[in-house]
Structure 1
Amino acid sequence: MSTSRWAAVLPDFTPWRSGRDFRLLFYQGTVTFFGSFMAMIALPLQIKHLTDSPLAVGAMGAVELVPLVVCGLYGGALADAVDRRRLILLTEAGLGLLALVLLVNALLPDPLLWPLYVVAAGVSALTGLQRPALDSLMARIVPHDQLTAAAALNGLRYQFGAIAGPALAGLVVAYAGYAAAYSVTVAGFLVSVLLCLRLSPAPPVGDAERPSLRGIAEGARYAWSRPVLLGTYAVDLAAMFFAFPNAIFPFLADELDAEWALGLMYAAGAVGSLVLGLTSGWTSRVRRHGLLVVGGAGVWGLAIAAAGWLANIWLVLLCLAVAGAGDMLSGLGRATIWNQTIPEGLRGRLAGIEVLSYSVGPQLGQVRAGTMAGWTGTRTAFWSGGLACVASVAVLAALLPKLISYDADTDEDAVRRRASREADAQTGGSPVAP
């Protein structure tokens, strides 16, 4: 294959080569994801070890959801009102301190249970505060025409962490113990803080208002007034609610007489996303990003439905990998539309709404999958959820035609945002809200 053909397939590394801050965030995110996944695996395993109770392990999700939602919305307003670099730095340092609490607790002769839940809630809260600042910073440090490539690289970074982190965490916990796993997490956050210190300042634009409920409502009204944005949130929520079956993977493994493949089921989606990321060069030339959102969600739903129909474990794993690739494709479209169209002064608050999309959907999806499996059986819960996902995405596409017709070259918000970025580049000034 010629060099030009390889370039058309392989990831586009232009944002990484051209942007110092993007490289710093790429390194920071890689280290953080790896360390965080180490703790994400060790924490529920330690709760299981201390209690031997599935209910106690499941309760961790309950204590995480509310802080994530509340702090996600507030963090969005905060990201529009303060220096985003400072917010990222402080929350990253806070996450490191919480990891240190886990380490100290694990070193006790008799580790305590309650600190594990407190830390889980604290991590969820700090993540909610930090995520909007991280997401909203991307459009400021990456040129307008490189946003899809940047989203693909960020997805690639996440998938590497999602595959390597849990795999190594299992080995570390099994052979070295929980304290060793948490030590890796603490070290990761220490490196991450040092990298964040080197980021350029990212002060708010104009006369930013203090975070308030009125400011959060203003962001919600803006999203509601933009059918394209509304469509990205709605499609993601529908896909996750109807076709997020992770909670019933153990039951599917039992029915297929393939208990040995349970870990592969959890990893298959990340592998599919990774393959899509490694061959994402073509996405940099896409202009109709709404089609990526809808098409990727449709692939996700069909693949989950097929996983419920098939009886061969290897075909099921293949379907789960295809679902992961579809989810990655839809995510690239969503991230590009958000970064191409949202005004700088509202970017944090809209990123806070995104936190609701990516957190509430999977949580409710797990409830739906478990409830449906209890009523109708595991296989039916899979294929019915997948088909419901496809149907709901089709209905949303019909109700919100502007999402399908979105074109980065002609959409009014995208054109306005691009012109603002070009004006900033010519004047050498800070980004301003269009």
Structure 2
Amino acid sequence: MSAPEPETPQPKRGLRGLLVDTTPLRASPAFARLWAGSAVAQIGAQITIVTVGLHIYHLTGSTLAVSLVALWAIGPMILAGFIGGALADTFDRRTVALITACAAWVSIGTLTTIAFLGVTATWPYYALAAVNAASATILGATRGAILPQLLPAQLLPAAAALTGITMGLAVTVGPAVAGVLVAGVGYPWTYLADAVLFTGAFLGIASLPRMTPTGPGAAPGLGSVLESLRFLKTAPNVRATFVWDLVAMTLGNPRVVFPAAGALVLGGGAVTVGALTASFAIGALVSSLFSGPLGRVHRQGRAVTYAIAVFGVFTALFGIVLLITFLTAGTQDGRAPIVPAIVLAGLALAGTGAADNVSSVFRSTILQTAAPDEVRGRMQGLFYVVVAGGPRVGDLIAGTVATTIALWAPPLLGGIAIVGIMLILARSASGFLHYDARHPTP
């Protein structure tokens, strides 16, 4: 199935030119349904992500134990990225997405069941979170390969911004709901909320037409993986999108310190954790709502580099807030919320969310337009390994640094490192910085 030809977009002035471009929703009803279904499912997914971290911290009292969720998930996610991408390049992408959604829903249902049964061993939660993460990787890769079949290339930046809105809403609403539900009704009922909301994913996927890949396809296996790696070796711009994001996500991902920060430094416990996570999403949401000018940016590699450098600055500012609060107020288990510090921390995280979303819009657009359809599923699989796996490696690094040094160290040191690396890459990776969206090349 080829993407439909849209109406020629007319320049918009004033406030309309700043607001997100909704043309993809009108140009492709199939995209609109997929977008709406994903929006509902993503809220539930964010509820579970936050709840698992809170639950593990509740059971163990250890930030390092929270970071081990990453260690359990990273292997299955990498495998799922490569195998799932090959599946999306070989079989009907709608069918692959439906089967994967079923696997994800079963893992969420099982997680809910063991929580109701009062299981206190941590390994089942780690294992089920890993299954859910692997399923999400395949599902995300398949969706990413589907979008260029639903929309023309010139609408993909706007589609990415619309996706940023759904993710921003999800990460705003989901963590806040998780914090309130955990504090009010407990962990089992909070997991159940995700199981119910995830049904939205089925509604969006089931309404799609058949999505057969246009290329020759590739049988899932080692040969397919090697073929995709050979392509990546000859595609410096596609490769750069992965490397740049890995820098940001492994060094600037302090979410693993949120539970301890809420309990010991900032105060407020689970509600503060939800507020901190939501702050990141609010920044992403606001930047998506005012993403109209992004569609007019042609030097997208340069935009990615600058956005990640800004991301590093705001990450370091969050670390500074934690450091100053620690130096002035110390630590105290179960303390009342220190509102000024929470507000400043939230503003810094909102800045990281906005910068990360801008980077994501351009990285996903480069990948979807520069990679040919016959390898697009595998490239999307690798993209989701980086997008989802990078933060989990970052969790492990942040947990280790926080345990070894202090809670403020992962964001402060990581943010400084990100800025330094982006400055180096801005001078050394001139090819990516001159990437022109009007003439996309891998």
Q: TM-score by structure 2 length?
A: 0.84
When structure 1 is superposed on structure 2, of 84-93 and 167-176 the one drifting more is 167-176
Alignment of structure 1 residues 13-28 onto 2, 5 Å: 13-28=22-37
Question: CA-to-partner distance for each residue in 1:228-252, whole Å, 9 max, x for gaps?
Answer: 1122111111122222222334666
Structure 1 partner of 2:361: 332
Do 1:31 and 1:188's aligned partners in 2 also have CA atoms closer than 8 Å?
A: yes
Partners in 2 of 1:195 and 1:12 — Cα distance? 21
1:318 aligns with 2:327: no
Aligned length: 409
Structure 2 partner of 1:431: none
Letter paired with 2:223? R
SS in 2 for 1:199: coil
Quote the RMSD (CA, aligned, Å): 2.5
Do 2:67 and 2:395's aligned partners in 1 also have CA atoms closer than 8 Å?
A: no
Q: Which runs of 5+ in 1 are unaligned?
A: 414-434
Change (3 A) 1:356 1:17: same
Change (3 A) 1:262 1:40: closer
Partners in 1 of 2:316 and 2:397 — Cα distance? 15
Do 1:220 and 1:350's aligned partners in 2 also have CA atoms closer than 8 Å?
A: no
Instruction: State which of 189, 194, 198 in structure 2 corresponds to 1:185.
Output: 194
Partners in 1 of 2:200 and 2:288 — Cα distance? 25
Instruction: State which of 286, 297, 320 in structure 1 corresponds to 2:308.
Output: 297
1:231 aligns with 2:260: no
Change (3 A) 1:248 1:142: same
Instruction: State which of 280, 287, 290 in structure 2 corresponds to 1:269.
Output: 280
Partners in 2 of 1:99 and 1:141 — Cα distance? 29
Q: Which runs of 5+ in 2 are unaligned?
A: 1-11, 325-339
Structure 2 partner of 1:103: 112
Change (3 A) 1:161 1:344: same
Structure 2 partner of 1:34: 43
1:200 aligns with 2:229: no
When structure 1 is superposed on structure 2, of 50-59 and 29-38 the one drifting more is 50-59
The CA deviation at 1:283 is 0.8
Letter paired with 2:94? R
Partners in 2 of 1:246 and 1:175 — Cα distance? 22
Partners in 1 of 2:256 and 2:58 — Cα distance? 20
Change (3 A) 1:353 1:6: same
Change (3 A) 1:372 1:181: closer
Partners in 2 of 1:42 and 1:337 — Cα distance? 33
The CA deviation at 1:370 is 4.0
Instruction: State which of 263, 266, 281 in structure 1 corresponds to 2:292.
Output: 281
The CA deviation at 1:381 is 4.3
SS in 2 for 1:327: helix
If asked which structure has higher relative contact order (CA below 8 Å, sep 6+), I would say 2
Change (3 A) 1:112 1:322: closer
Structure 1 partner of 2:175: 166
The CA deviation at 1:176 is 3.3
Partners in 2 of 1:229 and 1:57 — Cα distance? 32
The CA deviation at 1:275 is 1.0
Change (3 A) 1:62 1:22: same
SS in 2 for 1:259: coil
Instruction: State which of 405, 416, 422 in structure 1 corresponds to 2:434.
Output: 405
Q: Percent identity?
A: 31
Change (3 A) 1:53 1:269: closer
Question: CA-to-partner distance for each residue in 1:40-99, whole Å, 9 max, x for gaps?
Answer: 333344445556665654433322121111111111111101111001111111212222
Structure 1 partner of 2:378: 349
Do 2:40 and 2:200's aligned partners in 1 also have CA atoms closer than 8 Å?
A: yes
Change (3 A) 1:280 1:169: same
Partners in 2 of 1:115 and 1:258 — Cα distance? 30
SS in 2 for 1:333: helix
Change (3 A) 1:227 1:70: same
Structure 2 partner of 1:65: 74
Question: CA-to-partner distance for each residue in 1:114-158, whole Å, 9 max, x for gaps?
Answer: 543332222122223222111111111111111100000001101
Structure 1 partner of 2:133: 124
Letter paired with 1:265? L
Structure 1 partner of 2:337: none
Partners in 1 of 2:423 and 2:263 — Cα distance? 33
Letter paired with 1:392? I
The CA deviation at 1:10 is 0.9
Question: CA-to-partner distance for each residue in 1:256-279, whole Å, 9 max, x for gaps?
Answer: x53235543332221111110111
Letter paired with 1:259? G
Structure 1 partner of 2:332: none
Do 1:231 and 1:396's aligned partners in 2 also have CA atoms closer than 8 Å?
A: no
The CA deviation at 1:358 is 1.7
Partners in 1 of 2:124 and 2:249 — Cα distance? 30
Do 1:42 and 1:169's aligned partners in 2 also have CA atoms closer than 8 Å?
A: yes
Partners in 2 of 1:115 and 1:369 — Cα distance? 23
Do 1:244 and 1:366's aligned partners in 2 also have CA atoms closer than 8 Å?
A: yes
Letter paired with 2:192? S
Q: TM-score by structure 1 length?
A: 0.86
1:12 aligns with 2:9: no
SS in 1 for 2:13: helix
Structure 1 partner of 2:3: none
SS in 1 for 2:198: helix
Change (3 A) 1:44 1:315: closer
The CA deviation at 1:202 is 0.4
Instruction: State which of 218, 223, 240 in structure 2 corresponds to 1:209.
Output: 218
Alignment of structure 1 residues 109-148 onto 2, 5 Å: 110-111=118-119, 113=121, 115-148=124-157
SS in 2 for 1:80: helix
Structure 2 partner of 1:152: 161
Partners in 2 of 1:402 and 1:286 — Cα distance? 17
Partners in 1 of 2:139 and 2:17 — Cα distance? 34
Do 2:39 and 2:167's aligned partners in 1 also have CA atoms closer than 8 Å?
A: yes
Change (3 A) 1:144 1:217: same
Structure 1 partner of 2:8: none
Letter paired with 2:179? G
Do 2:304 and 2:362's aligned partners in 1 also have CA atoms closer than 8 Å?
A: yes
Structure 1 partner of 2:417: 388
Partners in 2 of 1:381 and 1:44 — Cα distance? 17
